[in-house]
Amino acid sequence: MQNNSPHAPSAWITRFDALVGADAAANAPLAGLRFAVKDNIDVAQVPTTAACPAYSYTPVKHAHVVERLLSAGALAAGKTNLDQFACGLNGTRSPYGAVPNSFDARYVSGGSSSGSAYVVATGQVDFALGTDTAGSGRVPAGLNNIVGLKPSRGLLSARGVVPAAPSADCVSIFARTVGTAVQVLKAALGYDAADPYSRELTLDAAPFAPRFRFGVPDVLNFFGDAQAEQAFKEAIQRMEALGGVRSDIAYAPLAEAAGLLYDSALVAERYAALREFVDQQEGEVIEPVRSILAGGRRYSAADLVDAQLRLRALAQRVAPMWQGVDVLLVPTAPTHYTIEAMQQDPVTLNRNLGAYTNFVNLLDYAAISVPSSMRPDGLPFGVTLIAPCGADLRLADLGQRYHHATGLPQGATGQPLPDPVPVLGKGGATVRVAVVGAHLSGMPLNGQLTERGATLVAATQTAAEYRLYALPGTVPPKPGMVRVAAGEGHAIAVEVWEMPAAHYGSFVALIPWPLGIGTITLADGSTVQGFACDALALNGAEDISHHGGWRAYIASR
């Protein structure tokens, strides 16, 4: 398979001279993986433009999700282009240029996460972050033969992300395989109290039954694209070959919910998110983004309440659908458009690309877009699997089975798919615990974690609120960490491990006094379970806080 697109400099807004990331242990979950960041997500000391130069600012901190990925060993390569303020599904609404499709440069890449999808599809990075409010993490995946994982709302923190519509925004993941996307998801997820929409979710890790039920819209519109229509018929057949039983579902209420995103007072949320900038510098916003954002001004508070009630009523109306199906199957995008055609009719054609995406976040669903086939004209066709909130892992498991059944190469690279990998883990609930001493990787008690099925999530630091002591007379040698008053602490190196909740009790039972388990605040502001120490045991203990961690202290001896 040939990639007919030349290298697209418009895919990048900022390329880093050197990869951004800390030295990571070789067994860190994402060690050595290179990633790109959509330029509405903060990377410290790098301008965030949201594809609007006049809006640009330089953050002093990484976005929460970026911090987690760097802590897990990933290396950031740069910031990618997007439809301005993440307002679009086509990839042409940017002063930095239109991002072409990775298979044919005459066609759109999809948006708004256009650059992120392109650099993954062409093999420039291993994965990329996008955002998804109305489909921006799925449409570019479907049009470029890659995976687009749109998590359940609130599963990944949006702190440090320029908002589009905060109640519907999701940070999304692009990768060439489902396995990589899930690997990134597991490293990035976590409750963040500083994000108003973050929430603690228990993910359903049970696979779909061998005979599962999949819903297909009873009315399908491919906007005259016969090749896309045939590709979706083949997708239905593939789902049936995987054990699926088709059931047509009424699409009208889903389409009605989708229409509320831009054609009701819900659009006021987009205006509110950027109100100060739009009111002061409206002329710096390009069309049609300017009209969409400014259009939010005309709605009253009562209008917004009415729209929210309509959405809740539709959600109630649609809910019984899930009693008859386990998963929905829809085209990721119903057709392809050329860049020229999109620029001539930017509103209608953009709306068409979102025909099967806009309702998903509004109704609180999880989704994953996976490659499905190559059309006779050489353009990719993708499908999206959708299920209720919390179904992220089981969707990924089914999505991986589907993707590998296609026999397609990875993105536009021509490279074959690697063997599939387990994405469900051992199933069930898990607990994250921060370890600071003898349980670190390579230390004497690490086996107490690994024998319980725990996996390393990140090597990171605590907030600068702790002091570390070498406890006298402990075998093997152990530290004790205590929280101290503001301004008196240090950031202490820790590892965060994830353990099946079923084994957590037996692990805690092994912890001897004066150590115990408490709540630890990490450098990114999130909290996990972690080792704490009874202050009574610190008499005669050596304060080793200046070493920054137990491993450095041991090395100094």
pLDDT on residue 271: 96
Residue-level length of the chain: 557
- 289-344: pLDDT as tens digits: 999 999 999 999 999 999 999 999 999 999 999 999 999 999 999 999 999 999 99
384-389: average pLDDT: 98
- Yes or no: say if 531 and 466 are a contact pair by the CB < 8 Å rule: no
Q: Is-catalytic flag, 136?
A: yes
- Yes or no: say if 530 and 517 are a contact pair by the CB < 8 Å rule: yes
Going by pLDDT thresholds of 50, 70 and 90, the confidence category of residue 454 is confident
Q: Report the alpha-carbon distance of residue 518 to residue 436 in Å, rounded.
A: 13
Q: Report the alpha-carbon distance of residue 62 to residue 523 in Å, rounded.
A: 11
Is the pLDDT reported for residue 1 higher than 60? no
Going by pLDDT thresholds of 50, 70 and 90, the confidence category of residue 24 is low
Is the pLDDT reported for residue 493 higher than 60? yes
Task: Compute how many other C-beta atoms are within 10 angstroms of the C-beta atom of residue 429.
Answer: 11
How do beta strands 466-470 and 479-483 pair? Answer: antiparallel
**Residue from 112, 152, 198, 372 carrying the catalytic annotation:** 112
Spans of all domains in the chain: 9-406, 430-556
DSSP for 273-334, please give it.
Answer: HTHHHHHHHGGGSPTTHHHHHHGGGG--HHHHHHHHHHHHHHHHHHGGGGGT-SEEEEESSS
466-472: average pLDDT: 93
Going by pLDDT thresholds of 50, 70 and 90, the confidence category of residue 455 is confident
pLDDT on residue 429: 66
Is the pLDDT reported for residue 440 higher than 60? yes
- 69-82: pLDDT as tens digits: 999 999 999 999 99
**Residue from 10, 38, 198, 373 carrying the catalytic annotation:** 38
pLDDT on residue 302: 97
- 83-137: pLDDT as tens digits: 999 999 999 999 999 999 999 999 999 999 999 999 999 999 999 999 999 999 9
Which one of 3.40.50.12280, 3.40.47.10, 3.40.50.720, 3.90.1300.10 gives the CATH number of domain 9-406?
A: 3.90.1300.10
Task: Report percent pLDDT > 70 for the chain.
Answer: 97
Q: Report the alpha-carbon distance of residue 125 to residue 374 in Å, rounded.
A: 22
pLDDT on residue 425: 62
**Residue from 116, 136, 198, 373 carrying the catalytic annotation:** 136
Q: What is the pTM of this model?
A: 0.82
pLDDT on residue 245: 96
pLDDT on residue 288: 96
Is the pLDDT reported for residue 426 higher than 80? no
Is the pLDDT reported for residue 5 higher than 60? no
Q: Is-catalytic flag, 506?
A: no
- 221-257: pLDDT as tens digits: 999 999 999 999 999 999 999 999 999 999 999 999 9
Quote the DSSP letter at residue 200. -
Instruction: Compare 7 and 485 and report the one with higher pLDDT.
Output: 485
Q: Is-catalytic flag, 372?
A: no
Going by pLDDT thresholds of 50, 70 and 90, the confidence category of residue 415 is very high
- 178-194: pLDDT as tens digits: 999 999 999 999 889 99
CATH of region 430-556: 3.10.490.10
Is the pLDDT reported for residue 458 higher than 90? no
